Amino acid sequence: MGSRLLFRQARIGGPRNGRSWLSSFHHLSRSLHSLPFATVNAEEISGSRPAEVENFVQGNWTKSKNSNEILDPLNGEPFIKVAEVDETEIQPFVESLSKCPKHGLHNPFKAPERYLLYGDISAKAAHMLAQPKVSDFFTRLIQRVAPKSYQQAFGEVYVTQKFLENFSGDQVRFLARSFGVPGNHLGQQSHGFRWPYGPVAIVTPFNFPLEIPVLQLMGALYMGNKPVVKVDSKVSIVMEQMMRLLHHCGLPVEDVDFINSDGKTMNRLLLEANPRMTLFTGSSRVAEKLATDLKGQIKLEDAGFDWKVLGPDVQEVDYVAWVCDQDAYACSGQKCSAQSILFMHENWSKSSLISKMRNLAERRKLEDLTIGPVLTFTTGQMLDHMSSLLCIPGSKLLFGGEPLENHSIPHIYGALKPTAVYVPIDEILKEENFELVTREIFGPFQIVTEYKDDQLPKILDALERMHAHLTAAVVSNDPLFLQEVIGKTVNGTTYAGLRARTTGAPQNHWFGPAGDPRGAGIGTPEAIKLVWSCHREIIYDFGPLPKHWEVPPPT
């Protein structure tokens, strides 16, 4: 009951599009049965009325022998039963993938009408997600399982809807655009084609339960692959409902399988089914294990210890402080693009930046889910990490560092006030400290440090030594400073300029790491082609033969 009260408070904290969230909820309650795909109501999910999540394989929704009870992240009640497949039940999924040939369900020479089919499916799904009652449905469902503010959850739905709009109509077949090069003689031409892998797998995390799996799933389908999709069971109800929406919009039921399982079972499925390519988004530790198990047939969008460098030109302090707060603490810091470390030029430390960041962080509260449960770190683990950092000479707590109060979040999850710890740059660079300072804490936690003009090389050295190169921000309008930092760093999605940020990637630009040949992108045509297709060269050589041709001597 406590979680439902918090959830209700979170939704009525402010208006959107001229309607209060409360009135929007009443509209949803009246309209739920008009959603032809939905089998749950986010508001009604509770310990006394648990929702159920099924699997989908070979064109059918199925249950399993066992259910995994998911705890409500706001009060600890078991409120979702997920039908989790165990290792004895994976054979239908193995058989389903094995039915897909290596040349895929479609390619430029086979069933090209399916490019048009997926353009139509995308158009219909985009239209549905644009309807307020549908977008509200998914926004609230996201909030129930991955608590974040209404605006943050709605942003995920909005990006997904815009992505589907982008690939409506003819845009899917344009992804398979080929090119031709003249050959050496008459009748010879070489043509490059984008070719599917065939059977593939998608494994995605909890923090974006709609956006990441949908964008990667649709990219896989556009290029002609047949995917099996696994989303973290804590949030898989969101993708289960999206699968039902896609079926309603014309997705062929044989094209996608959807599985719920633990990591061990999914690992077994990947080894037995041997998909030609696996997309993994999640922790670096699991990513490295899968890369070994799957012999490199994998694309990764793994963890990111993401950095922001504030240049020497101080301006618009209020705005920069607000962006820092959003980057570090929106979604309780549970974004792979969250600001993990802030390098501020000494000019910024002389400004009111830190005090403004503190004030902004203190506005966040559990009632509207602008701060909330941390699903992969406990409160104790985050506080222990903070204590270790504060043992470094010169370190100090800038703000936060205390557990949230007056809540019923279960102990298996974390509940921490937005926290920032200052560590001197010279201490960060010491061998004995660097790994500790650059450990990613997937929660509302960041490192702050300061540098002088002549210490920029030390900053660049720190950035070079980091292992994950996902997002970054260089906050400056000084072109020479930007040139220096961008030219000597590698992060795949880097924002540059006064308004630079690390989070909030829309659907209109590439999002993904750089510096790793296994790196996966998301969102754009380039990302889809890189991740979900390979290059195939076909050389046409029709002749004619030269007149009076004779068999030449052996060579």
Residues annotated catalytic, as ranges: 301, 336
Phi, psi of 388 (to 5 degrees): -65, -40
Q: Which residues contact 395 (CB under 8 A, 6 or more apart)?
A: 389, 421, 422, 423, 424, 427
3-state secondary structure (DSSP) of residue 308? strand
Three-state secondary structure string covering 176-203: CCCEEEECCCCCEEEEEEEECCCEEEEE
d(CA 530, CA 510): 11
The token pair at 54 is 């099924």
The side-by-side arrangement of strands in the sheet containing 277-281 is 60-62, 55-57, 257-259, 226-231, 199-204, 277-281, 298-301
3-state secondary structure (DSSP) of residue 440? coil
d(CA 410, CA 72): 8
Query: Shortest CA distance to 332 belongs to which of 375, 371, 381?
Result: 371
Query: Shortest CA distance to 144 belongs to which of 83, 210, 85, 204?
Result: 210
Q: Give the CA angle between residues 318, 322, 328 to the nearest 5°.
A: 145
- Alpha-carbon dihedral sign for residues 332, 333, 336, 337: positive
3-state secondary structure (DSSP) of residue 473? strand
